[in-house]
Amino acid sequence: MKTLHIDCTFGIAGDMLLAALVDLGADLDQIATALRRLPIDPFELGTRPVDRCGIRARLLTIDLDIADPHGHVHGSHHDDHSHRDHHDADHNHDHDHDHDHDHDEHEHEHEHVHGHHRAGDILTMIAAADLPNRARHRATALFTAIAEAEGRIHGIDPGEVHLHEVGAMDSIIDILGVCLALELLDIDRISASPVPVGHGIIDIAHGRFPIPAPATLELLKGVPLSDFDAPGELTTPTGAAFLGVLVERFGGLPAGRPLRIGYGAGNRDSAHPNVLRSVLFEAERSSTTAHDDEPRESIAVLECQLDDVTGEQLGHLMGLLLEAGALDVFYTPVTMKKSRPGTLITVLAPWPRAGAQERLLLLHTSTFGVRRHESSRRILDRRIEVVETEWGEVRVKIGSLDGRDIRVAPEYDDIHRLALENDHPLADVHARVLEAYALRGDSGSPALNP
C-alpha cells in the first residue's frame, strides 16, 4: 500500500501539487496524453527546474495559446502562469469577464470545455471520459465539492454553478492531472500537514475579497489550519479542495518507509521557500482498506446516543450537520441504561471533516462524548443528466458500475418543484421522469429507482 504525504507548510495550489507529483515520478507525457483524449481546448504541458530559497523544485507550465485542429487560436496563455496570484494561483483572479458558452457551428464544430464552465458540464465530461476508475472517482468528488462550495456561497444550485474561481482551463488540467498522477503513482491513501492561508486582498470574479477567497475558506471546513503567515494567497480553492476531499489524515509524517520526495514550486520567489513537498511512503495496508482492486474511499462514522432530546432538536441538529458537509445523518431508536428509550445519532462524514462534525455534536447535543471510527465505502460512478418532461427539465442522477449504467434517480428538489407547480402527486411526477429518461434510448437499460 502506498501513502502520499503532502507537506503544505507554505501553502498549496493545484499546479504546485501536480508539479510535485511529477517530480515524485509521475510521467507528465502520460498525463498529457490522457488529458488530450478529453473534449478540452488544445494545450501544452511542461515543467522546468527553479530554485526557491535554495530548494530545487519543478514549476508547472501550461500553454493554452495554440491552435486547435479546426484552426482556432485559444487566447488563454499563462506565461509561467503570470495571471496567477502568489503560487500561480490555480484559478485566475484576473478573469472578471464572462465567456460566451454558446458557440455556433461556424465558430466551433466540436464541443469543447473552455472559459468559465458550468459544474454540471464538467462532471458530465468526467463521467464520459476514458479515465481509470479511481481517477474518475477522485475528479468527480473534487469538482462536486467545489461546485457545492460555490453554490453555498452564491445561493444557487451546484449543477448551475459557473466555476469562476476554479473553472479556468488550466485549473481543469491541474485537477484532472493530479488525479491521473495519483493513479500513475498508485497512491492508496493521502495525508497532509496543517495548511496556512496567508493574508491580504485579492481580486476575484465577484469583486475584491480578503484572503482566503470565499471558495477557499468554504472548502477548508474541517481542515486544520497552521499559524504560518505571509502576505498573499498561500492556499487556493483548488488546493483547498485537494485537502478537503482527498486527505484522510492531517498531522506530521505518517508511519512507514519514505521512498521518494518531490518538490513543486509556485511562481513567486518569496522570502520563504514557495514550494510544496510530496513524500511517497510504503506503508502497511490498513484493515479498513479494501483487499481488492476496486476504488474505495475512507469515511468517518460518528456516533453518540441521547435519552433527553426532542424531535425539534434532532431536526435542527440534522440540518447543521448536513450543511457542514455530512454525507448522511440518521437516528435509530435504542434502549439505554435504566431501560430508558433513547436515540442513537449516526453521522457519516468525509474523514477530513470528522473533527468539525464532532464539534457540532458536542456543541448542539447533551452528549459528553462522541465515538469515531474509520470505515471504507465503494460507490458507483455518478453523473447528472437533464431530462425534458412535459412540465419542464428535471435532473437525474445516474450511477454506473464497470462502465454500465445500473441506477437512475430523479433529483428530489426538481420533482418536488414540478409537483407543486402542476398540482400533481410527487409519485406521478417521479414515474413520468423515469419514463421520459427511458424513452431517450441512449443509456442502455439501467435499473430504475422506485
**pLDDT single digits (tens) 195-225:** 999 999 988 776 788 999 998 999 999 899 9
Q: What is the mean pLDDT of residues 175-194?
A: 94
What are the angstrom distances between the C-alpha of 131 and each of 247, 300, 341, 401, 402?
Answer: 21, 27, 50, 14, 12
Burial of 151 (0-12, 13-18, 19+ CB in 10 A): middle
What per-residue confidence (pLDDT) applies to 66?
A: 65
Kind of pairing, strands 275-282 and 2-7?
Answer: antiparallel
Q: Which of 28-42, 106-120, 163-177, 258-272 has the lowest mean pLDDT?
A: 106-120
Given a cut of 90, is residue 108 above it in pLDDT?
no
- Which part of the chain has CATH 3.30.70.1380? 297-377
What per-residue confidence (pLDDT) applies to 26?
A: 96
What per-residue confidence (pLDDT) applies to 280?
A: 95
CA separation for the pair 126, 176 (Å, rounded): 9
Q: Yes or no: is domain 381-448 CATH 1.10.1740?
A: no
Kind of pairing, strands 55-63 and 44-52?
Answer: antiparallel
What per-residue confidence (pLDDT) applies to 255?
A: 80
**How many Cα atoms occupy the beta-carbon half-sphere of 446 within 13 Å?**
28
What per-residue confidence (pLDDT) applies to 296?
A: 67
CA 366 vs. chain centroid, Å, equals: 33
Cβ-proximal residues to 362 (8 Å cutoff; 6+ apart), any chain: 370
What per-residue confidence (pLDDT) applies to 309?
A: 92
What per-residue confidence (pLDDT) applies to 438?
A: 87
Grid coordinates given for 141:
468528488
What per-residue confidence (pLDDT) applies to 294?
A: 59
Grid coordinates given for 139:
475528479
- What three-state secondary structure class fits 343? strand
- Which part of the chain has CATH 3.10.20? 381-448
- What three-state secondary structure class fits 435? helix
Assign domain 297-377 to a CATH class: alpha beta
Q: What is the mean pLDDT of residues 307-313?
A: 93
Grid coordinates given for 130:
476514458
Residue 312: count of CB within 10 angstroms of its CB: 8
Cβ-proximal residues to 154 (8 Å cutoff; 6+ apart), any chain: 161
Cβ-proximal residues to 394 (8 Å cutoff; 6+ apart), any chain: 386, 387, 410, 411, 414, 415, 418, 433, 436
What per-residue confidence (pLDDT) applies to 112?
A: 46
Does residue 103 contact residue 113 with C-beta atoms inside 8 Å? Answer: no
What is the rounded average pLDDT for all residues in the chain? 82
**Closest to 307 measured CA to CA, from 284, 288, 326, 333:** 333
Given a cut of 60, is residue 90 above it in pLDDT?
no
What per-residue confidence (pLDDT) applies to 404?
A: 84
Cβ-proximal residues to 28 (8 Å cutoff; 6+ apart), any chain: 22, 45, 46, 47
Determine if the pTM surpasses 0.85: no
Given a cut of 70, is residue 22 above it in pLDDT?
yes
Q: Which residue has the higher pLDDT, 78 or 179?
A: 179
Q: Which residue has the cell 493513479?
A: 183
Kind of pairing, strands 341-350 and 371-377?
Answer: unpaired
Q: Which residue has the higher pLDDT, 404 or 180?
A: 180
**Sign of the dihedral through C-alpha 151, 157, 158, 163:** negative
